Amino acid sequence: MFLGYLSENGFISVHFETLHTRFGEIGSAICQMPNFSALFVDINLLKTAIAIAVIAILETLISAKIADNMQ
């Protein structure tokens, strides 16, 4: 990437093909953030996500306790 930058800006005389030289300017439409409304958050989905997070935390704590007793 660095050599492509130097080549495009004329700092070095070697020509490297970059995405810009091959496809032109890439617009910002590729990475637009979607609009989320308050209706998107489902309370049941939120409850499920919290339950999974708690189970993952408990599993991590149990694994750490078991690993600590193995020494």
Q: Tell me the mean pLDDT in the region 8-27.
A: 80
Residue 56 has pLDDT above 70, yes or no: yes
Amino acid at 10: G
Among 35, 52, 32, residue whose Cα is nearest residue 44: 52
Domain assignments of the chain as residue spans, ordered by start: 1-26, 41-71
Q: For the chain, what is the mean pLDDT?
A: 82
Q: Tell me the mean pLDDT in the region 54-63.
A: 96
| Local confidence band at 47 (pLDDT 50, 70, 90 cut-offs) | very high
Residue 30 has pLDDT above 70, yes or no: no
What is the distance between the terminal CA atoms of the chain, rounded to a whole angstrom? Answer: 47
What would the two tokens of residue 8 be? 């495009």
Buried b (16+ CB within 10 A) or exposed e, 35-45: eeeeeeeeeee
Q: Considering the entire predicted model, what is its pTM? A: 0.43
**Tokens 């637009």 appear where?**
32
Q: Tell me the mean pLDDT in the region 30-51.
A: 78
Cβ atoms 22, 7 nearer than 8 A: no
